Every structure is written in structure tokens, then in C-alpha cells.
Chains A and B, each alone.
Chain A
Amino acid sequence: EIVMTQSPATLSVSPGERATLSCRASQTVSSNLAWYQQKPGQAPRLLIHGVSTRATGIPARFSGSGSGTEFTLTISSLQSEDFAVYYCQQYNNWRTFGQGTKVEIK
């Protein structure tokens, strides 16, 4: 099983600031990497697939980058609605999620 490891566990950011979230895979996942956002009581919401392609309706302030085993999600200017838990997910071999990064208000 491919193990996904995210850092940091919690990120404290002020509204308007930039947030950078990291994700590492235990083995290469090629470009089969997605990012999800989840708010309390809701299903995960797809933000990014294929490392850097935004899903339908996702604002341009969300961007993804990386390759192989190291990936990054950047939120360029945090809005109030962006405070949530973010998961990376690989779908190169089955589908496994990282443990999540909670983005909280500083």
C-alpha cells in the first residue's frame, strides 16, 4: 500500500495570507495525485486532480504542484471559507489518503 504523509498536521494562517501544504508518497504515484478539502459534517470536496488541474468551480487561488513523491498545495490568499482540513490522495495504486492538514485561523 502506498502511504501518504502530510505536513504540517496543523497550519495556523491569517486571512489573506498564503498557505503551503505538503504531501509525500512512500513510492512514486506518477501524476495520479489529488487534493480534497473537507469541512465538518461534509463529504470531501475535490480541489485538484492530476497534481495541478483544478476541479470544476475551484477558485484560482488553489494550485497544486510536484511530481513523483513530493507534492504541494498552495492557497495563495486564504479566505474565510478555506479554513478546513485538506487531504492529499494518490490514485496510482488503489486510492489512499494522507492523514490531513488542518488549516486554522491564526
Chain B
Amino acid sequence: QVQLVQSGAEVRKPGASVRVSCKASGYTFITYAMHWVRQVPGHRPEWMGWITTGNGNTIYAQKFQGRVTFTRDTSASTAYMEVSGLRSEDSAVYYCAAIDLGDYWGQGTLVTVSS
């Protein structure tokens, strides 16, 4: 069965970077894009963009351009999302999702930015 398993919760100081991983299984990884969604607790989800896992092309929401980087390791069937220059307002749950395959989401990774 399709599974997306994300890395565990992270705590970072303002200005630092964080990388979240998303390991896919149960399907051919390079066939479907991996999307990333951010949700501040108690707020609506925000679509951050996606990576075409086959060729590595990326699309970013304007809000996240320049501070967010999507990458993937096809040999490990894993997608990564890195945020640099963290601010307190980046504290959120980050999800990966293979929505072009179906309604498949990772379990979410809580990133807390605090001094």
C-alpha cells in the first residue's frame, strides 16, 4: 500500500535551516510529483509547491520562493523540503502529499522555530 513517512519533529532557532524528508513506498516514486503543504496550527493549509520526482523540476509558491528548496533522491524514493532563514512564523506542520496518485499524505512534521 502507498505510504509517505516523514521525518520527526524539529526545533530550530531563528535564522537556522531545517530539512524535512518524506520517504515514499508502495508505488513508483518517479511517476508522481511530490507536493508540500504547510499548516500553522489552527489555520488553513498553504500549498508550498511541488517537485516533479522524475526530472527534479520544481514549482514554488511565490511566498516561499528563495527560502524553500525541494529536492529528491530517486534511489531512496525520498523527497526533501528545506527551509532556510527560519522565522517564528515558519513554525508549522509540514506535509508531503502525492495527490496526483491519490489522496496520499505524510503524517506531518512539526517544525518549531524558537529562540
B97 touching A100 by the CB < 8 A rule? no
One digit per residue, 1 when the CB lies within 8 angstroms of any chain A CB and 0 when it does not, for chain B 81-100 equals 00000000000000101010
Of A38-46, A60-68, A70-78, the segment with at least 4 beta carbons within 8 Å of chain B is A38-46
B61 touching A55 by the CB < 8 A rule? no
User: Number of residues in B with C-beta < 8 Å to the partner?
Assistant: 16
A55 touching B47 by the CB < 8 A rule? no
A45 touching B45 by the CB < 8 A rule? no
A99 touching B44 by the CB < 8 A rule? yes
A96 in contact (CB, < 8 A): yes
B103 touching A94 by the CB < 8 A rule? no
Give bound CA distance, A28 to B46, whole Å. Answer: 20
A96 touching B107 by the CB < 8 A rule? no
Give bound CA distance, A96 to B61, whole Å. Answer: 11
Q: Which of B57-115 contact A (CB under 8 A)?
A: 61, 95, 97, 99, 102-103, 105-108
B95 touching A43 by the CB < 8 A rule? yes
B103 touching A87 by the CB < 8 A rule? no
Interface of A is mostly: loop
Pick the contact of A96: B43, B47, B99, B106 (CB < 8 A): B47
A97 touching B45 by the CB < 8 A rule? yes
B47 touching A95 by the CB < 8 A rule? yes
Pick the contact of A43: B43, B47, B102, B105 (CB < 8 A): B105
Residues of B within 8 A of A (CB): 37, 43-47, 61, 95, 97, 99, 102-103, 105-108
Residues of A within 8 A of B (CB): 36, 43-46, 55-56, 87, 94-100
3 A-B pairs with least C-beta separation: A43-B105, A46-B103, A95-B47
